[in-house]
Structure 1
């Protein structure tokens, strides 16, 4: 009411062409402190509402623009997909569900009976017997190879009787193939082979024969008579060769 009265008095004394902004300032200066505070608060509220409206309009325009961009992108994607498949972009392709193929049934578990166990045991025993025959054959081949490469020495060293030091070198004139002499030298005074370089070949050869006999003794027969017979034959061959070598060096000592 006070503001209206002030405007009326102002209209009586001021011309009409006075600027509105100047009127507002003059009116504002005529108000009391409390009325100014109320007017300032109302102006700030109006400015805040105006800014909120501007922000909402800007956000709506941004959302509309983004929505249009997505719509155009989707349309372009469907059109490109339809062109690549030779179909209309308005009819999207529906994937056809794959028919489930039935899984093959698992074969029944084998049932083992007593006859199966007996057959398996027999096959396993035959395999073991085969391995025993092969082991005997390998040992026999090692013996044959060693025998073919062994050379009897022409000089054999013996320890001096009654002495631990020194040795006697004996020249051998006897033939190593005289197998009948093995029995003849068993009852004669026996000399002792010295451990010298001249006797290295004899010592090594006899040691290899003993190792072969030990390996043959470890070959299982698995109840097979044929395996036992085969093993015994090879053992006799090796023992005969050991006796032949013993007869050779014992005969040399006897002749000395």
Structure 2
């Protein structure tokens, strides 16, 4: 029996990579990202870019602007709520059919329709609207209109024309209603 040579067994125990007989040629192309974008350059500082700090004058101007806008919106909001209160009050008020007048010691009841057409200054000077239960709704209405005017007077405009004109318009409406009501009993 022939003996196997030791070299042969060594070769067979070693693994040799197999190479295909016909290798496929793969063209070497750069990666798509490398072609479209340049490599970023490292920055000299590790800190992120900071926005410049505004000067003290710029900060104060910005604060004044913010405060003005806030105060304007707040004032317009107050005027709008007061106007809504006035509109609700006006829509719910009904003039009493008769009113009581105090002429000296006597109280006289007169229908409101006659008083509206009466222009006698003698009646207005001598007789005054009495404080009776019948006249209570009218007195309350006139008093509430006065309170609304006081509330409107308390709204600060801070020199803003828009606030002043809005407030002025609501004041005109309230005063016109007060004059209309006073025209009924004067």
TM-score (norm 1): 0.48
Structure 1 residues 176-215: aligned runs within 5 Å: 185=119, 188-189=121-122, 190=124, 191-215=127-151
Instruction: Give per-residue Cα distances to partners, 1:68-90, cap 9 Å, x unaligned.
Output: xxxxxxxxxxxxxxxxxxxxxxx
Larger helix percent: 1
Alpha-carbon separation, structure 2, partners of 1:175 and 1:230: 34
- Residue 219 of structure 1 corresponds to 155
Q: What is the count of residue pairs matched by the alignment?
A: 133
**Runs of 4+, deviation exceeding 3 Å:** none
Alpha-carbon separation, structure 1, partners of 2:184 and 2:106: 22
The one of 144, 150, 154 equivalent to 2:97 is 154
- Contact residue 159 and residue 193 of structure 1 kept, 8 A: yes
Alpha-carbon separation, structure 1, partners of 2:112 and 2:61: 61
Whether 1:168 and 2:108 are equivalent positions in the alignment is: yes
The one of 76, 79, 85 equivalent to 1:142 is 85
Structure 1 residues 1-256: aligned runs within 5 Å: 113=55, 114-160=57-103, 163=104, 165-174=105-114, 185=119, 188-189=121-122, 190=124, 191-250=127-186
More relative contact order, 1 or 2 (CA 8 Å, 6+ apart): 2
Alpha-carbon separation, structure 2, partners of 1:136 and 1:174: 37
TM-score (norm 2): 0.65
> Tell me, what secondary structure is at the counterpart of 2:96?
coil
- Residue 98 of structure 1 corresponds to none
Structure 1 runs not aligned, ≥5 long: 1-107, 251-256
- CA shift at 1:223, angstroms? 1.2
